[in-house]
């Protein structure tokens, strides 16, 4: 009887761990609308900007970074009004592993199971709408294009200023990788979570 109870507990835990997480951000079909941006274009400092990523499976969580190739933010007065960003997927690296395991994971992220960077070397994000919540808080909506698939995603961001000029934007973004055609599930006993998380620190 004890053995049966133990097996039931293990099975319940497995089901719980495999349950599909839902991203915190809103995702929808990309809107085919002409983006008319007001304001002055300001180049992003790609060298100082940071994108941290986090991905999880049943046994562990991995994290790393990926770099911006280029970016422009539009500013009108003190307000961010738009922007477009290009991520260079060849720069994706893992930070929690070493040696052969690190190289293996980075190679896997670059191949067809994940980002397939030989065919899709870049990810782009274009802001289509900005809603101001306060002097430092905004809601951003934009089209995220990855692996040839474009979807609209919304998330909150915090703006930091130097005097009256915006100097950085920080945001936490979550998305369901399946929506962008990244469908690899992992091993049957170590399933990969569909939700990918990113922390953005964009410097101007």
Q: How far apart are CA 129 and CA 32, in angstroms?
A: 13
More confident residue, 17 or 143: 143
Q: How far apart are CA 110 and CA 119, in angstroms?
A: 10
Q: What confidence category does residue 36 fall into, taking pLDDT thresholds of 50, 70 and 90?
A: confident
- The answer, yes or no, to whether residue 8 has pLDDT greater than 70, is no
Q: How far apart are CA 103 and CA 108, in angstroms?
A: 9
| Rounded percentage of the chain residues whose pLDDT exceeds 70 | 83
Q: How far apart are CA 176 and CA 153, in angstroms?
A: 11
- The answer, yes or no, to whether residue 184 has pLDDT greater than 50, is yes
Q: Which of 29-38, 75-84, 85-94, 179-188 has the lowest mean pLDDT?
A: 29-38
Q: Does domain 23-203 have CATH number 2.40.128.110?
A: yes
pLDDT, mean over the chain: 89
Domain ranges of the chain: 23-203
Give residue 11's pLDDT.
39
pLDDT tens digits for 96-111? 999 999 999 999 999 9
Q: How far apart are CA 184 and CA 165, in angstroms?
A: 43
């Amino acid at each position: 009887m004890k053995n049966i109870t133990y097996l039931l507990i293990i099975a319940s835990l497995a089901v719980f761990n495999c349950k599909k997480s839902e991203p915190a951000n809103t995702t929808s079909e990309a809107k085919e609308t002409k983006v008319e941006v007001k304001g002055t274009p300001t180049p992003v400092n790609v060298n100082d900007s940071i994108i941290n990523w986090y991905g999880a499976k049943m046994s562990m969580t991995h994290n790393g970074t990926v770099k911006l190739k280029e970016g422009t933010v539009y500013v009108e007065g003190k307000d961010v009004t738009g922007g477009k960003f290009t991520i260079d997927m060849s720069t994706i690296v893992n930070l929690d592993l070493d040696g052969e395991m690190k190289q293996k994971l980075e190679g896997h992220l670059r191949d067809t199971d994940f980002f397939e960077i030989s065919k899709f070397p870049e990810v782009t994000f274009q802001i289509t709408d900005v809603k101001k919540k306060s002097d430092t808080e905004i809601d951003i909506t934009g089209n995220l294009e990855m692996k040839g698939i474009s979807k609209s995603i919304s998330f909150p961001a915090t703006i930091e200023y130097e005097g009256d000029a915006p100097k950085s934007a920080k945001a936490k973004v979550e998305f369901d990788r399946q929506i962008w055609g990244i469908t690899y599930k992992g091993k049957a006993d170590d399933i990969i979570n569909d939700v990918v998380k990113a922390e953005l620190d964009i410097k101007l």
